[in-house]
Structure 1
Amino acid sequence: MSGKFVVSISFGKDNTDKATVGFVVANAAVASDKETVVFLSIEGTRLSQKGYADDIHEEGFAPLKDLMASFAEAGGTIYVCSPCFKKRALDETQLIAGAKVVGGAKLVEFMSEGAPSICY
């Protein structure tokens, strides 16, 4: 069984519930001693930008910015889809803690040892 886990999030403010729940699950995985990667793609890439998630707070959950900060502080890694990032003309100097812009090959490499994944 793999000691790795991937949470793929393709939503931002266009579906704040999915973005929030994705980070809730990612925090659970990293707290369970799984080497955890959140993969941000499509509109989810916007979550990689400082300040973007500051006003997202789904009822019943911690604010998204707090969930994201907790994930990074616990050692989680955030991969940001390079083509999606470039398509949206986002700013690499504004990346949140724990985030790095990567190509798809980096995700495939991480998952190649049988890492389970879930998508939001």
Structure 2
Amino acid sequence: MSRALVIKVTAGQDGPERCNQAFTVAATAVASGVGVSLWLTGEASWFAVPGRAEEFSLPHAAPLSDLLDVVLKGGRVTVCTQCAARRDLTEADLIPGIRIAGAPTFVEEIMSPDVQALVY
């Protein structure tokens, strides 16, 4: 049995390399058959809004929107409750399939047996 991967990305346009690395690792893990839960926090929360990932650009990196699509198709994507509230985002504002959840859900996920957690 393989371990699941929970990835929290805390950077957005303010830290493009760190942000892209988190999405790249998440998409690669999904493509490899690993169970992935990607948490969007801080400025990364904006990428849950339709069209925002398409606006992101980083030289020599896969398009963020493509990476997000891979994760959405094979994993789970969550926006932090407080981060969404600070940006006046509700689930109605988000790409279908992305949920909003808080710290209790994050802690439950990372404390599950056979889970590896990464924070970018």
Aligned-pair identity (%): 30
- CA deviation after TM superposition for structure 1 residue 32, in Å: 2.3
Partner of 1:92: 91
Structure that is richer in helix per residue: 2
Contact 2:49 2:95 (C-alpha < 8 Å) held by counterparts: yes
TM (normalized to structure 1)?
A: 0.88
Deviation at 1:57, TM superposition (A): 2.0
Work out whether residues 49 and 91 of structure 1, in 8 Å CA contact, stay in contact via their aligned partners in 2. no
Residue 78 of structure 1 aligns to which amino acid in structure 2?
V
Distance 2:82 2:2 in 1: 28
Give me the CA root mean square deviation: 1.6
Aligned residues of 1:69 and 1:97 also touching (Cα < 8 A): no
Q: Counterparts in 2 of 1:1-120, with a 5 A limit?
A: 3-73=3-73, 75-112=74-111, 113-120=113-120
Please tell me the residue identity of whatever aligns with 2:107: V
Q: Distance in 2 between matches of 1:29 and 1:43?
A: 23
Q: Secondary structure at the match of 2:36?
A: strand
Q: TM-score, normalised by structure 2?
A: 0.88
Letter of the 2:3 counterpart: G
How many residues of Structure 1 are paired with residues of Structure 2 in the alignment? 119
Secondary structure in 1 matching 2:53:
coil
Counterpart AA for 1:84: C
Quick one: distance in 2 between partners of 1:97 and 1:62?
A: 22
Q: Tell me if the contact between 2:91 and 2:98 (Cα under 8 Å) persists in the aligned partners.
A: no
Pairwise CA distance, 1:100: 0.4
Structure 2: gaps of 5 or more residues: none
1:2-51 per-position Cα deviation (integer Å, ceiling 9, x unaligned): 62101110111112222111110001111222210111111111111111
